[in-house]
Amino acid sequence: MLFLKTMRWFFPLWARHKKAMFFIFLLSAITISVETIGPIFLKTIFDSFEKDYSLDSTQKLIWGFAIFSFFRIFVTQLLPFSRGFMNLLFSAIMRGQFYKIYTESNRQFFEKFSTGDLLTRLTDDIDGGNDRLAWYACSGILRPFEAFFTILFPLIIMFNTSAPLTLASFLPIPFLVAILAHFELKMLRLISEKQQAASDCNQVLESCFSGIRVVKSTLSEAAQLAKYQELTNRRTQKEKEFLKVNQTIQLFSILANSSGPIITIFLGSYMMIAHTISLGDFLMFIVYLNRMMGPIWTLSWFYATTKQVAKYEQRLDETAQYLLTQNRSKNATQNSTDNTESTKTITKNITSFESMQFKNVSFSYTSQGRPIISNFNLSIKKGEKVAIMGKVGSGKSTLLSLADGTLRPSSGEVLINGLSTEEINSESLYNLVATIPQESILFSDSIKDNILLGANYSDEKIAQAIDHAMMKEDLDSFPDKEKTILLQKGVSLSGGQRQRISIARTLIRRPELILMDDITAAMDAKTEELFWKKIKENYPETTMIITTHRTKTAMAADRVINYLRYY
C-alpha cells in the first residue's frame, strides 16, 4: 500500500524525536476533543432556551463556553506552530543526511547525477513547498490524523442525532473520491516531469555560473540565455500542466465540501420546522459541517500529496540506491574472484605506505567503450619518485584516479602493501594518499583556511608548506598575507598561484604517497627547478607519482614512464 510504504520512509526520523512527536500527538488529541465538544456545548446552551429558562444557569453556560473558546483558540494555534517547528527540524535533518551521503560518494556517483540535479533533490524535493518531504514528515501525516478523528467523532454524534440528515450532508463525498481516482496516474507522471525540468534548469545555471569567464570571453551570453530560456519554457509548461490537474482536484474538493452545508441548511431547516430536530441540533450540525470542510479538504489533499511525496522519496532513494548498487557490485566482483571468501567484504586498515603495484590493470569509462588503460603493470617502492609522461588523452590522470581508489579497474588490481585498494578502509587510505589535481579547487575564504581546510597546524608548519610550494614570494606581496580573502573559486589569483596553494594544502599534511597531476604546468622554468629541489630536500621518504608533459619535472624523478610504457 502506497501510504504505508511512504510512511515507512519517515520511521527513522520519528524514532529520533519520539518525545517531540508524542507531544504533538497528544496536542492533536486535545485539539480533536476540543473541536468535538465545542458544538455540543453550543447545542446545550440553545436547547436550554427551549426548556425551563433560567438566567443564572444560562449565564454560567455562556461564561463556561467563553472560557472554553479561549482555551480552544490557544490549543488550535499551538498545534500548527509545533508542527511547523518539527517540519523545519526534519528539513535540516534530511538535508544533512543526504548531503553527507553525497559528499562521501565516489566519482561514478557524480558522473551519474549532475550538480544541478542533486541541488534540486536537496532543496526543492525536501522543503520546496507545503507538499514536500519535510512538510509531509510532520504536518503531512498529523494533519490528516487530526482531520480523520475530527470528522469521525462528530459523525458518530451526528448519526445519533439524525441519520437521514447526516447521510444527505455527505452525499457529495463519493463524487470526490471518483475524481481523485481518475487523476491519479496523470498526477504522478506530471510530478516526475516537473521535478526533472527543475533539475535541468538548475544544472544549466550551475554550469553557466561555474564557467562564466568562458561564457564572457567567447561572447556566448546569447546562446546560454537561449538555452536557459528553452528549459525555462519547458519547466513553465510542465508546472502549468501540473497546476491544471491539481487545481481541478482542488475545485471538485471545494465543490464537494461546500455542497454538504448547503444540503444541511435546506434539509435541516425543513426538519427543524417539522420538529424532527431541535434548534440546538440544527446549529450543531452547521458548526460541525463548517469545521469539517477543512478536515475533508485535508484528507482529499492528503491523497494527492501522498502521491507527490512518494515521487520525492523515490528521487532521493534513487541516489542512495545507486551507491548501494555500486557497493553490492563491488562485493560481487570481489567474491567472484575467490569462491572461498566470505560474502561480506571486510576492509582493512593500513598505517604506513610500503609499496604500490599496478597488476594487469585495464580501465574504460563505459562497459562498451575503448580501454583508456590496457594491461598496465608497475611497481613502486617507498620513497620513489615516478614520473609519467604522455600526450593528452593517454590516460595519465585516469591512472592517478585508479591509484587513489577514486576509480576502480575494469580488470586487474591496484595494490598498496599487497592489499587491493578496494580492501583498504577508505579513511586509512586517504590518510596515507593525497592527490593534487590539475584543476585547483579553492573556496571563498582566506588563503590560510584554504590550506588548513579545518585542520589544526602551527603557523610554523603553514609557513613551511607555503615555502615548499613556492608561494612565499607571492604571499609576501599581498597586503594581508595568508589572511587574504579569496574570491569565488580563487579567481583573484593566477592559475599558478591557485595551483601552489593546492600544493601547500597537500604538503602540510605530509601524506606518505602524493599523486601529482601536472602540477608544474603553470610554473616558469626557474620556479619549477627550485620547487623540485625543495621537494627532494624536505620529502625524501615521500613516495610520489607525477604526471607531466615537462621534461624538467620528469628529470627530477627517479624513474620516467612515457606514454604508459617504460622510458
Residue 335 pLDDT > 60? no
d(C-alpha 470, C-alpha 523), whole Å? 10
**Nearest CA to 298 among 77, 91, 80?**
80
Statement: residue 345 has pLDDT above 50: no
Return the domain boundaries, the chain.
1-162+277-331, 170-274, 355-562
Instruction: Average the pLDDT over 129-134 and give the result.
Output: 72
Least confident of 153-167, 339-353, 496-510: 339-353
**Where does 1-162+277-331 sit in CATH, by number?**
1.20.1560.10
Longest dimension (CA), the chain: 113
Give how far Cα 230 sits from Cα of 52, 224, 235, Å: 76, 10, 9
- For position 90, what pLDDT does the model report? 86
CB 245 within 8 A of CB 186: yes
Can you give the pLDDT at residue 51?
67
Question: pLDDT grade, residue 344 (50/70/90)?
Answer: very low
Measure Cα distances from 161 to 43, 62, 296, 471 in Å: 12, 23, 21, 87
pLDDT given for residue 190 in this prediction: 82
Identify the pLDDT of residue 129. 67
Q: Is the pLDDT of residue 343 over 50?
A: no
Specify the range with the lowest mean pLDDT, choosing from 118-122, 409-413, 430-434: 118-122
Q: 5-24: per-residue pLDDT in tens?
A: 777 788 888 888 888 888 98
413 strand-pairing partners: 359
Q: What is the pLDDT of residue 339?
A: 42
- State the pLDDT confidence band at 325, using cuts at 50, 70 and 90: low
Tell me the pLDDT of the chain averaged across its residues.
79
Confidence check: pLDDT of 337 > 60: no
Most confident of 29-33, 38-42, 60-64: 29-33
Q: In 3D, which of 249, 252, 261, 246 has the Cα closest to residue 292?
A: 261
Between residues 342 and 440, which one has the greater pLDDT? Answer: 440
Matching residue, cell 610500503: 354
Q: Which three cell numbers stand for residue 233?
A: 519554457
Q: Any idea which fold 355-562 has?
A: Rossmann fold (3.40.50)
pTM of the shown model: 0.60
Is the pLDDT assigned to residue 376 strictly greater than 60?
A: yes
Mean pLDDT, range 150-154, rounded to an integer: 86
> What was the pLDDT predicted at 1?
61
Categorize the per-residue pLDDT at 333 as very low, low, confident or very high, splitting at 50, 70 and 90: very low
- Rounded mean pLDDT of 381-409? 82
Q: What is the pLDDT of residues 172-203, one digit of tens each?
A: 777 776 776 677 677 777 877 887 888 788 77
pLDDT tens digits for range 491-531: 777 777 888 888 888 888 888 888 888 888 777 788 888 88
Only one residue has cell 502521491, namely 307
pLDDT tens by residue, 219-256? 777 888 888 888 888 888 888 888 888 888 778 777 77
Q: What is the pLDDT of residue 368?
A: 61
In this predicted structure, what is the pLDDT of residue 341?
A: 40
| 272-287 burial: b if 16+ Cβ within 10 Å, else e | beeeebbebbbbbbbb
What's 116-181 look like in SS3? HHHHHHHCHHHHCCCCCHHHHHHHHHHHHHHHHHHHHHHHHHHHHHCHHHHHHHCCCHHHHHHHHH
Question: What is the distance in angstroms between the CA of the first residue and the CA of the last residue of the chain?
Answer: 65
CA-to-CA distance for 379 and 383, rounded, in angstroms?
Answer: 12
Q: Between 150 and 440, where is the model more confident?
A: 150
Higher pLDDT, 490 or 292: 292
Q: Residue 158: name the closest of 79, 72, 271 by CA.
A: 271
Q: How far apart are CA 249 and CA 505, in angstroms?
A: 57
Stretch 26-39: mean pLDDT: 87
- At 324, list the grid cell: 548501494
Residue 48, pLDDT above cutoff 80: no
Strand pairing report for 433-436 and 385-389: unpaired
pLDDT bin (cut points 50, 70, 90) of residue 426 is confident
Q: Return the pLDDT at 323.
A: 66
